[in-house]
Each structure stands twice: as structure tokens, then as C-alpha cells.
């Protein structure tokens, strides 16, 4: 390999080590070796060190041990007349630099706790977001699982102008990639350039400003490492599997913008270990032979208008981009965009007006494919800032279409509208909330384009069952009210059908292996009374999905002979799970939290855990960020229960599963639920009380503790006794 690159990498590794060692010695002198350090709200300690070495850095003393190890990995400086062109020592130097960057950033969190903003969006006065917490990891990880985010670009430095930065960011967004930004060049950063250009940045738009220094690029590598540990079920310290997982599953690359310093070289060498190549806009030496990366390792001097395409080619990334007939940019990267304040041109729903959506099947002769009607004022007919009622009626027809497919198609409205730049869509059914920004209207967007989006994308994604799609958009109050009445009647019939089904009555369950791309051993079994862990799929959804896509992730499972009715175990399910998990999981129980509970991928909405002192179970959803009575926050629990493992005493589940008769039924069901976050309890109060009444316990939700009562078992147990919670007098849950 190039002697220049080798010399720069090693020189950079020495500089990074010396910087980390100096920061460490000063921190030890000030705080002592027992002072705890961490990246906030993550169960993975310092994730690169933890994933590669298997060593949990909990305090400054631990960091010192890692510094000693990294010093051993860095080779001596390259001498003029004695250079051996081997890649191995250079990769070691790069990995050591990643360890040292992580220690530098951990000490920054200790010394400057307010430097990074613990949120998904930057504010006017705080730009840098720092390390993603585990809630963000799992929320965004789903997009890497389902393919809506094929990979990420780690950008270091800055573009020559803010206009070029904005153009590059938009191109990356159109390719559905995340953009992780760090380091500066010529006194500015790519993140600052985007803000100056008026581009909305943050996790929702996939343009993530990690930090201003090259050391903050470690958060991108940490995100990739945690993906392997969390979704891949890889044990910390199994560095070979961590690196291979990232090369094969996390399609990332580095875009080096500007003059490449020695420290940048060291960081790039660290990324090559993961299979992440570097593509530069300056004429630095190249590493063109293949080896660790899929293709070339370092490619340089690429013009800015070509650099994104070149990076995708070098990484071997397959990107599917669909052209949709709208005047704005379109793709999943814009799904998290927020339209606020003075940027709003039109708003509907969100408690201000009524907004409702409905998809219905019609006879072939009742649908004219491609017909789009706007009934009522369009955007050109209203003033900026106007609130209007909104109804969206999608009528579909097809020789293979079934009424069971209606909710599947209807649910797509949320994503498909959100993918248009300048549009914001929240909620579904009759609680939708839509905003359209002034920028979209200036580009020529009209309400008819909502129909254009739905027509094009539904044909593309569901063409196997659809032959015709027509869309009606209503903005007249009377018409919206009429649609609302029709929609609520349809919703009620759908819900009644699902609620009337039982596991005992159905001989077929369905699998969901959508998350296997990240958690290879996880197999979700969806039954009529147990939704998928992510909450996105119920039994009818899976049935419809299979009929739409017979080779997809939702496959029928003949449950077969009952092995244990109480635990929820069947011969057919065991056989399917063993085969689908490639032998790693041979059985599990659908209804138990204590005995071989179902595996969890990491995409779950909630985690239930046993509380021995309270003689019951608690559950916590990912939106709750505080402590819980089991002694762990959601983020730590997720690290314990995820990755496709069977973890007795813990199980992932959806929010709606709490209202099922099969919720931890083997241990007593809903009567065992003793603690949950208040917001979640209020959301499910009606279902909890109904289930409790069926079991002879009135007002059960009022007997369940929440964070206002306490966050330890000792704090909540007197409350449970006072309220005569049924779990207090039940048999011991731990046997």
C-alpha cells in the first residue's frame, strides 16, 4: 500500500493517542480513576471499545486500561528507508484511533455535560447532537431493517460552498441514506453549511450533526457497532463478527471533504476495518486493490457532482430510487421533516380541524385508474397559514384485491405522503395531521399531487393485487364530515373482526422475519391475540401481506399439535422457528415471560420485566426515558432483551398486546401487571379495566403503579398493598 498513506495513518494514530492520553491524565487528576464516564442513555458503555474488545468502560480507570491497549496496537512511525507495505499494522493503528477518539468524547461528556444536545433535533443555539441514545438507535434501526435506509454516509469536513453542501445532502437524501456529519474544514462544518443554506437537519431528516471535531465521527462508528450488538445478537468482544456484520449489513462509507489531516487518515483507517471505504474530493493517495472493503478502500479527487454516485458504487450499495410525479424531492429521508410556524402554508387535523383517511375496495367498473379529484379549495385558492378540513379517499380495484388488504394499503398513506419534501403527516385513520410547507407550494405542489403520489406508489408497491387506483381529496367541511362517518363505520367493522378472533380458533399463525436482516435468529410469531413486537402487524395484516407477497417476511405457520396450552407452545411453531432461526432457537412460549419467552429483535414498542418483590411484572415503552422498578431504563433493558435471544424474565411486545387476554397469560395475565409509565397506562386504561373486570377486579388501572408512585419495588409495594392489587395475593411469580 502507499507509503504516504501508511505514514499519515501512523502519525495520526500517535497524535490521537497523545491527545487522548493528555485528556485522560488531566481528568484523572481532577476527578480520580473511579469517576464514571459514559455516553448518556446507552446500554453499550463506550460501544466501539465494548463491541471490539468486549470490555465495558465504566470509569476513568477503565479508560486508562484501554489507552494502554491502544498504545500497543500503534506501530512505530514510518521511517524513510524502511517501510513494509502491509495493511495489517495500519488497520490496527486505525482501530486504536477509534478507541482513543471514543475516550476523548467520553471525557468531553464528563467535562462538558451540556456540549451535546440529548435530542433528535438541534435547536437555534445548540447544533451538536452527539452520541445517539438507545431509543434513537432502535427507532432508526428499524429503517435499516426494512430497507428504507440502505446505509449511511459519514461526512467529515465541509464543502467548498453551502450550495454544494445542500446539493450533496439532497442527493444523499434522495438515495434514502442517513448522513452523519463531523469535523471541520476552513473554519466551518458541513452541518453549519446546511443550516446556513436553510436545510432542516436532525435525525428526522436523516442529516445528523454529530459534532464539530473529527473525534465526534466516532459516534457514526459507534452507531454501526451498536447495530451489530443490538440487532445482530453478536456478543461484545467477538470483533470478527462485529466487523463482518457491518461490512455485509450496514452499508456505510466516508466522504472526506477538504484537506485530509493525519488524524483524518487515522479515522479512515479505523473505518476500513468495518468495510467502510473513504471517498475524497482532494487528490490524496489511493488504495485501489480490494481486500477488507467490498471494492476499493480509498478513492480520491472525485468532483462534487459525482462524489455521491462514486461512493455508492465503491461501497457496492444497491439503491432503489423511484421517480414520483411531484414537483418536490421525494423519498424516505424526508419522512421525519417537520413543518413549523411561519413555514406552514396549509394545515389540517391535529385537533385544529378534522382530517380523515380511508381506503376502500370497489368493483373494477367503479374505479378509473389514475383519476384524481380535489373537491373543495386547492392550495392556490387559499392564503398561506390557512387551516382546512381534509379527507383523503383512496378507492382501489383489482382482480386479486380483497377487503382484508384495505388496512394494509391505508396504512401506507402516512409514509407515502411524508416522503414528499415539504409535507408533514402524523397519525392515521381519523386522527391524521397534515401540514404543507410554503417551499413545496412555491415549487408548484397542489393537493392533486397527494393523489399522484398515492397512485404511483400503490401501483409500484402493490401492483400484484391492484389494477386500478383513484383518489379523492376533500377540503369542503360537509364532504369531509360525510367521509368521516363512512370511515368510522369501516374502522369499527375492521376492529370488531380482529377482536373477535382467538388463538384457539385459528389453525394458522404467521411469521414475521422482517427484522432478520439485523437480528438473524429472531422469528416473530404473530397470532390473532398477539401482534408483532413492533406493533405494526396484526394477524390479519400478516395474512394479507402473505397473499400480496407469497415469498415475503410473513409466512403461514401451521401451529399443529398443542404441546402446552398454558405456556403457548405448539409442534408446528417449534418446527418453523427452528428452521427459520437456522437452528439457534428450537422452541419458545408465546404466553410466558418466565419460561422460554419469545425472542425479541430490538424493534419492540415495549419491554416487560418480572418484579420479584412486587410479585408481578412491569412494562415500559420506548417513549418513557426515566428509571423503572427493575433498576434499568428502557435503553438498558433493550440491550438485555434484544438481539434475537430468549431471556427469561424479560420479553419484548407491542403496546396493544398489553390489552390482550394472552399477555403473560402463563403467569396470570393482566392481573400480574403492577407498574407501567403513566402515559402508557392512560392510553390503554379502557382495555386494562375491561380485562380486569372480566377477571373480577374492578378499576384495575387505578391499582397499577406508575412513576408518580415510585420507580423502585420498595416504593411501589406499599401502594400495591393499599390498592389491593391482585398480584399481592397471587402465588409467587418466580416459583
> What pairing do the DSSP bridges indicate for beta strands 355-361 and 390-397?
parallel
Write the pLDDT tens digit of every residue in 376-421.
999 999 999 999 999 999 999 988 888 888 988 998 898 899 999 9
Question: Which one has a higher pLDDT value, 485 or 580?
Answer: 485
Whole-number Å distance between alpha carbons of 513 and 552? 9
State the alpha helices, DSSP H only, in 147-261. 162-174, 190-196, 218-230, 239-249
Same fold, 3-315 and 508-729: no
% of the chain surpassing 70 pLDDT: 96
- The answer, yes or no, to whether residue 732 has pLDDT greater than 70, is yes
HEC letters along 573-596: HHHHHHHHCCCCCCCCECCCCCCC
Structure confidence at residue 516 (pLDDT): 66
For helices 134-146 and 634-641, the axis angle rounded to 10 degrees is 50
Structure confidence at residue 435 (pLDDT): 96
Residue 719: φ, ψ to 5°: -65, -45
Structure confidence at residue 86 (pLDDT): 66
Whole-number Å distance between alpha carbons of 638 and 532? 16
The mean pLDDT value for 354-365 works out to 94
Neighbours of 169 (CB within 10 A): 28
List, edge to edge, every strand of the sheet that includes 616-621.
650-653, 606-611, 616-621, 673-675
Cβ-proximal residues to 537 (8 Å cutoff; 6+ apart), any chain: 512, 526, 531, 545, 554
Structure confidence at residue 354 (pLDDT): 94
HEC letters along 280-312: ECCCCCCECCCCCCCCCCEECCCCHHHHHHHHH
Helix (H) or strand (E) holding 372: strand 372-375
For helices 218-230 and 87-111, the axis angle rounded to 10 degrees is 100
- The answer, yes or no, to whether residue 680 has pLDDT greater than 60, is yes
- C-beta of residue 535 within 8 angstroms of C-beta of residue 658: no
Residue 661, strand partner residues: none
The mean pLDDT value for 557-578 works out to 95
Sign of the four-CA dihedral 569, 732, 715, 671:
positive
- The answer, yes or no, to whether residue 314 has pLDDT greater than 70, is yes
Write the pLDDT tens digit of every residue in 629-651.
999 988 788 777 777 778 899 99
Tallying the residues shown for the chain, one arrives at: 735
Class of domain 508-729: alpha beta
Nearest to residue 282, comparing CAs of 172, 156, 188? Answer: 156
Average pLDDT, the chain: 91
- The answer, yes or no, to whether residue 85 has pLDDT greater than 70, is no
For the purposes of burial, counting CB atoms within 10 Å of the CB of 189, is it exposed (0-12), middle (13-18) or buried (19 or more)?
buried
Whole-number Å distance between alpha carbons of 419 and 143? 14
Structure confidence at residue 148 (pLDDT): 74
Structure confidence at residue 607 (pLDDT): 93
What is the dotted CATH code of the domain comprising 3-315? 3.40.50.2030
> What pairing do the DSSP bridges indicate for beta strands 372-375 and 278-280?
unpaired
* Helices first, then strands: H and E counts in the chain: 21, 23
SS3 253: strand
CATH architecture of 332-487: 2-Layer Sandwich (3.30)
Cβ-proximal residues to 565 (8 Å cutoff; 6+ apart), any chain: none
Buried b (16+ CB within 10 A) or exposed e, 324-355: bebbbbbbbbbbbbebeeebbbbbbbbeebbb
Write the pLDDT tens digit of every residue in 452-496.
999 999 988 888 888 899 999 999 999 999 999 999 999 888 877
Question: Which one has a higher pLDDT value, 646 or 240?
Answer: 240
Structure confidence at residue 264 (pLDDT): 95
Buried b (16+ CB within 10 A) or exposed e, 290-305: eebbbebbbbbebebe
Confidence of residue 215 (pLDDT cuts 50, 70, 90): very high
Nearest to residue 391, comparing CAs of 419, 429, 363? Answer: 429
Q: What is the DSSP letter of 361?
A: E
CB under 8 Å, gap of 24 or more: what pairs does 550-553 form?
553/511, 553/512, 553/513, 553/514, 553/516
% of the chain surpassing 90 pLDDT: 68
In this structure, what is the dihedral angle of CA atoms 330, 404, 657, 554, given to the nearest 10 degrees?
A: -70
Structure confidence at residue 518 (pLDDT): 57
The residues spanned by each domain of the chain are 3-315, 332-487, 508-729
Nearest to residue 105, comparing CAs of 51, 34, 27? Answer: 27
Structure confidence at residue 321 (pLDDT): 58
Cβ-proximal residues to 493 (8 Å cutoff; 6+ apart), any chain: none
Write the pLDDT tens digit of every residue in 113-171.
999 999 999 998 999 999 998 878 877 876 776 667 888 999 999 999 999 999 999 99
- The answer, yes or no, to whether residue 514 has pLDDT greater than 80, is no
Structure confidence at residue 135 (pLDDT): 79
Nearest to residue 203, comparing CAs of 252, 130, 254, 145? Answer: 130
HSE of 483 in the Cβ direction (CA atoms, 13 Å)? 26
Write the pLDDT tens digit of every residue in 265-310.
999 999 999 999 999 999 998 888 777 888 889 999 999 999 998 9
- The answer, yes or no, to whether residue 82 has pLDDT greater than 60, is no
Write the pLDDT tens digit of every residue in 244-270.
999 988 889 999 999 999 999 999 999
Whole-number Å distance between alpha carbons of 298 and 2? 11
Structure confidence at residue 699 (pLDDT): 95
Structure confidence at residue 145 (pLDDT): 63
Write the pLDDT tens digit of every residue in 93-118.
999 999 999 999 999 999 999 999 99
For residue 338, give Cα distances in angstroms to 378, 431, 629. 22, 18, 35
Instruction: Give residue 148's Cα distance to chain centre.
Output: 10
Whole-number Å distance between alpha carbons of 74 and 175? 37
Nearest to residue 554, comparing CAs of 408, 706, 685, 687? Answer: 408
Confidence of residue 622 (pLDDT cuts 50, 70, 90): confident
Write the pLDDT tens digit of every residue in 48-78.
999 999 999 999 999 999 999 999 999 998 7
List, edge to edge, every strand of the sheet that includes 344-349.
386-387, 344-349, 433-437, 423-426
Structure confidence at residue 331 (pLDDT): 86
Amino acid at each position: 500500500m502507499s507509503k504516504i498513506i501508511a505514514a499519515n495513518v501512523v502519525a495520526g494514530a500517535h497524535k490521537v493517542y497523545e491527545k487522548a492520553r493528555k485528556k485522560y491524565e488531566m481528568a484523572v487528576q481532577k476527578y480520580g480513576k473511579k469517576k464514571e464516564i459514559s455516553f448518556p442513555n446507552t446500554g453499550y458503555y463506550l460501544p466501539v471499545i465494548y463491541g471490539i474488545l468486549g470490555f465495558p468502560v465504566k470509569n476513568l480507570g477503565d479508560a486508562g486500561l484501554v489507552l494502554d491497549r491502544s498504545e500497543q496496537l500503534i506501530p512505530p512511525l514510518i521511517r524513510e528507508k524502511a517501510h513494509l507495505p502491509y495493511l495489517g499494522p495500519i488497520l490496527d493503528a486505525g482501530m486504536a484511533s477509534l478507541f482513543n477518539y471514543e475516550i476523548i468524547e467520553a471525557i468531553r461528556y464528563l467535562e462538558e455535560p451540556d456540549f451535546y444536545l440529548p435530542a433528535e433535533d438541534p435547536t437555534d443555539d445548540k447544533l451538536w447532537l452527539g452520541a445517539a441514545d438507545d431509543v434513537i438507535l432502535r427507532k432508526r434501526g428499524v429503517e435499516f431493517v426494512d430497507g428504507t435506509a440502505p446505509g449511511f454516509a459519514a461526512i467529515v469536513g465541509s464543502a467548498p460552498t453551502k450550495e454544494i453542501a445542500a446539493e450533496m445532502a439532497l442527493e444523499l437524501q434522495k438515495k434514502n441514506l442517513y448522513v452523519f456529519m463531523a469535523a471541520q474544514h476552513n473554519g466551518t462544518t458541513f452541518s453549519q453549511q446546511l443550516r446556513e443554506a436553510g436545510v432542516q437537519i436532525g435525525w428526522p431528516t436523516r442529516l445528523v450533526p454529530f459534532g464539530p471535531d473529527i473525534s465526534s465521527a466516532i459516534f457514526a462508528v459507534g452507531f454501526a457497532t451498536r447495530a451489530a450488538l443490538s440487532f445482530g445478537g453478536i456478543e461484545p468482544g467477538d470483533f470478527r463478527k462485529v466487523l463482518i456484520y457491518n461490512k455485509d449489513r450496514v452499508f456505510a462509507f466516508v466522504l472526506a471533504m477538504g484537506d485530509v489531516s493525519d488524524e483524518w487518515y487515522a479515522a479512515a483507517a479505523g473505518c476500513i476495518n468495518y468495510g467502510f471505504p473513504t471517498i475524497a474530493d482532494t487528490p490524496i493517495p489511493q488504495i485501489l486493490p480490494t481486500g477488507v472493503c467490498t471494492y476499493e478502500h480509498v478513492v480520491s479527487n472525485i468532483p462534487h457532482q459525482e462524489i455521491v454516485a462514486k461512493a455508492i458504487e465503491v461501497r457496492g450499495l444497491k439503491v432503489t430510487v423511484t421517480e414520483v410525479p411531484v414537483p418536490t424531492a421525494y423519498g424516505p429521508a424526508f419522512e421525519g421533516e417537520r413543518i413549523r410556524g411561519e413555514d406552514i402554508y396549509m394545515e389540517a387535523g391535529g385537533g385544529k380541524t378534522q382530517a380523515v383517511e380511508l381506503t376502500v375496495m370497489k368493483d373494477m367498473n367503479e374505479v378509473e385508474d389514475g383519476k384524481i379529484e380535489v373537491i373543495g379549495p386547492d392550495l392556490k385558492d387559499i392564503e398561506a397559514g390557512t387551516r382546512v378540513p381534509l379527507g383523503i379517499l383512496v378507492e382501489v380495484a383489482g382482480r386479486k384485491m380483497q377487503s382484508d388488504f384495505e388496512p394494509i394499503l391505508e396504512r401506507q398513506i402516512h409514509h407515502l405522503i411524508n416522503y414528499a419534501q415539504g409535507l408533514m403527516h402524523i397519525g392515521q385513520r381519523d386522527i391524521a395531521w397534515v401540514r404543507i410547507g410554503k417551499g413545496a407550494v412555491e415549487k408548484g405542489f397542489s393537493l392533486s399531487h397527494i393523489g399522484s403520489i398515492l397512485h404511483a406508489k400503490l401501483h409500484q408497491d402493490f401492483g400484484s393485487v391492484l389494477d386500478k387506483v383513484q383518489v379523492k381529496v376533500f377540503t369542503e367541511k360537509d364532504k369531509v364530515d360525510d367521509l368521516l362517518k363512512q370511515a368510522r363505520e369501516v374502522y369499527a367493522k375492521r376492529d370488531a373482526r380482529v377482536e373477535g378472533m382467538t388463538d384457539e380458533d385459528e389453525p394458522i399463525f404467521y411469521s414475521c422475519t422482517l427484522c432478520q436482516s439485523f437480528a438473524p435468529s429472531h422469528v416473530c410469531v404473530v397470532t390473532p391475540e398477539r401482534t408483532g413486537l413492533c406493533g405494526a402487524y396484526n394477524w390479519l395484516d400478516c395474512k394479507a401481506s402473505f397473499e400480496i407477497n407469497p415469498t415475503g417476511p410473513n409466512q403461514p405457520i401451521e401451529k399443529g399439535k398443542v404441546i402446552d396450552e398454558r405456556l403457548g407452545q405448539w409442534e408446528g411453531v417449534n418446527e418453523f422457528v427452528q428452521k427459520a432461526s437456522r437452528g439457534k432457537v428450537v422452541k419458545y412460549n408465546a404466553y410466558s415471560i418466565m419460561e422460554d419467552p419469545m425472542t425479541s429483535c430490538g424493534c419492540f414498542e415495549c419491554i416487560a420485566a418480572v418484579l420479584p418483590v412486587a410479585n408481578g411484572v412491569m412494562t415500559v415503552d420506548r417513549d418513557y426515558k426515566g428509571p423503572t422498578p427493575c433498576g434499568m431504563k428502557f435503553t438498558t433493558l433493550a440491550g438485555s432483551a434484544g438481539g434475537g435471544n430468549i431471556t427469561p424474565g424479560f420479553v419484548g411486545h407491542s403496546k396493544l398486546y398489553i390489552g390482550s387476554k394472552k399477555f403473560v397469560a402463563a403467569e396470570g395475565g393482566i392481573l400480574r401487571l403492577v407498574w407501567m409509565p403513566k402515559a402508557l397506562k392512560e392510553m390503554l386504561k379502557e382495555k386494562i379495566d375491561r380485562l380486569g373486570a372480566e377477571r373480577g377486579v374492578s378499576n384495575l388501572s387505578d391499582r397499577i403503579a406508575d412513576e408518580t408512585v415510585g420507580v423502585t419495588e420498595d416504593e411501589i409495594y406499599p401502594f400495591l398493598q393499599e390498592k389491593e392489587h391482585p398480584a399481592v395475593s397471587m402465588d409467587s411469580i418466580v416459583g
